[in-house]
A = this chain, B = another copy of it.
Amino acid sequence: MKILRVDMDRLQVEWEPVSPEYERLGGRALIAGIMLAEVPPECDALGPKNKLVFAPGLLGGTNLSSSGRLSVGGKSPLTNGVKEANTGGSGGADLARLGVKALVVEGQPADGKLYQLYISDAGAELLPADDWRGLGTYATAARAQERWGAGCTVISIGQAGEFLMGAAGVACTGVGEQDCRVAARGGLGALMGSKGLKAIVLDAAPGTALAAEPVPLADPELFRASARRFANELIESPKTGRKGAMHTYGTSAIVAAVNEMGAFPTRNFSEGSFEAADNLTGQRLREITLARGGKVGTTCMAGCVIACCNVFVDEAGEPIVSTLQYETIGLLGANLGIGSLDEVARLNRLCNDYGLDSIEAGAALGVAAEAGLARFGDEAGFAALLDEIAAGSVMGRVLGQGAAVAGRVLGVSRVPVAKGQAMPAYDPRALKGNGVTYGTSPMGADHTAGNAFGSRGVVNPLGIEGQRELSLDLQLGAAMLDTTGLCLFSRPPVFGDPQLMVDLLNGRYGWGWSVADLEEMKKSVLRMELEFNEKAGHTAADARMPEYMTREPLPPHNTVFDVPDSEMDAVFAAL
């Protein structure tokens, strides 16, 4: 595999061998390594010194189930630290099959124009795309697939990324029609916009020679046996198997439980349970979808045995979004006082089309409602605000910058952010482990960086004890998944048996790793990220929940976030 350098200053591409320092890194770890080695941590996140990196995980491109997530990263304009956001879809596998260990976008075009990058087995080339300016991500994908073939993967930004908005994500097509996956968090779409890159087209479609030939394996037998075991465990698990909640209901399976535990963000995080939550549950989503001829149990990546996705359709059976997910239901639903999956799905489609992180945008809309710019529960009002974002009006530019800027500009003090980034759909006053993760993770408030929801039976979510240790453990696990390209949902087999992950890596690369090497890898990811962030200016003062959450009790438990600063500051003591 090679590193593909894209120099936007000179509009040139260059293939580079992988240096020994990067050899054993992938996905999130490779992003951390590149950022630390090549990018001045103090740089302007939207300036020419920052780099935008796309990297498949270490296991990307193989036939391992659920292993094709695409990591996107750089210095975040929201957190001002290193950021990795990953997405399903076909981008991770295709990039790996095209032999790209990392795609590194550098500099900025002097002409201020937009470009597209086309990568196939014949090489890579930068081409003009200024006529795509102002297109949403659906239209961009359609134009690109029209030109390069329907089987191509298209990674793109919408209007939000062009406008350099902090809520802008990077969209990626998936295996199904209308699929829109987003590497959403941290404003990486703005970073892509700052590079003048409208789209990346990966031409490794089914049917080409590339797709047929998976990435090489050092020990095919070990790898295949381990991959089989991995898939079987997922299939046989009551959670991830065909009868499990994940396949049956998708990520929205947890709506009822989070609402029940009082951590479901409602009306700008002012309450923890939503009176209309019953209309937002996974069960309801399944019923509606099946009744209308939509789909449930679809996959975002070819060959995934979990298959947690859906194609949510309107009453006429026309797709609205694929896939409708938990965090979106939380942030664009309860958080906006909206108790209808149709309304959530329509707002979600707007976010996808405009290239917006539905979490950051939903949180900004919640703040806007608190400032009186829309009414909670009013889909049309929120849709109009999203349209302002796409139009680039001053109002839209405020909201498009995300919740923190919106709160500051609009004079709202109840702003659910950590490290400048909006919280996902778990209020940390009722799930305190997540507060520890939001505050301390190098990723900021992020539902995939060490989510304590799944451990609510192990550590009391309302208590203080054990949260610190739990958060660190989950953060290390997340680092491993994000480095190998595995989906968060496929964690049980490798969390339960680390040797399985070691076997997969040894089968793929022949490194002869032990479990100790794997543990060291997990730690090293966090260490690199923490080092970058420290040099970028992060301090303990950033590892805090918003002050109002320490003062304002959250119904129904009426708890505040009270994990002491000393606990927050000790999370990485043993790292």
Contact = CB atoms under 8 A, between A and B. Distances in A.
A44 B395 contact: no
A49 interface: yes
B394 A547 contact: no
Contacts of A546: 44
A311 to B, nearest CB: 35
A278 to B, nearest CB: 35
Interface string A21-54: 0000000000000000000011110111100000
User: Would you list the 8 A-B pairs with minimal beta carbon distance, nearest first?
Assistant: A537-B541, A44-B547, A164-B411, A537-B539, A42-B541, A394-B395, A397-B409, A47-B547
Nearest to A80: B541
A456 interface: no
13 contacts: A42-B540, A42-B544, A44-B546, A44-B547, A46-B413, A163-B411, A164-B411, A166-B408, A394-B394, A397-B410, A397-B411, A405-B408, A537-B541
Nearest to A42: B541
A245 interface: no
- Greatest chain B CB density within 10 A among A164, A408, A409, A548 is at A409
A247 B395 CA distance: 46
A391 interface: no
Interface in A37-84: 41-44, 46-49
Nearest to A194: B413
A398 interface: yes
Contacts of A541: 41-42, 535-537
Nearest to A542: B537
Interface string A400-427: 0100010011110100000000000000
Interface of A: 41-44, 46-49, 163-164, 166, 373, 394-395, 397-398, 401, 405, 408-411, 413, 535-537, 539-542, 544, 546-548, 551
Given A397-B409, A409-B409, 16 more contacts: A43-B547, A44-B413, A44-B546, A44-B547, A44-B548, A47-B413, A163-B411, A394-B394, A394-B395, A398-B409, A405-B405, A405-B408, A537-B539, A537-B540, A537-B541, A537-B542
Contacts of A548: 44, 47
A245 B432 CA distance: 63
A192 to B, nearest CB: 14
A553 to B, nearest CB: 15
Contact of A408 (B41, B401, B413, B542): B401
A569 to B, nearest CB: 11
Contacts of A373: 394
Contacts of A395: 394
Contacts of A49: 547
Contacts of A44: 413, 546-548
Contacts of A542: 537
A401 B395 CA distance: 14
A409 B413 contact: no
A551 B44 CA distance: 12
Contact of A398 (B46, B398, B536): B398
Which residue, of A405, A411, A413, A548, has the highest number of chain B Cβ atoms within 10 A? A411
A460 to B, nearest CB: 26
A394 B409 contact: yes
A272 to B, nearest CB: 22
A110 to B, nearest CB: 12
Contacts of A547: 43-44, 47, 49
A542 B546 CA distance: 21
Contacts of A544: 42
Nearest to A546: B44
Contacts of A163: 411
A547 B47 CA distance: 8
Contacts of A413: 44, 46-47
Contacts of A48: 551
Which of A373, A394, A551 has the largest number of chain B CB atoms within 10 A?
A394
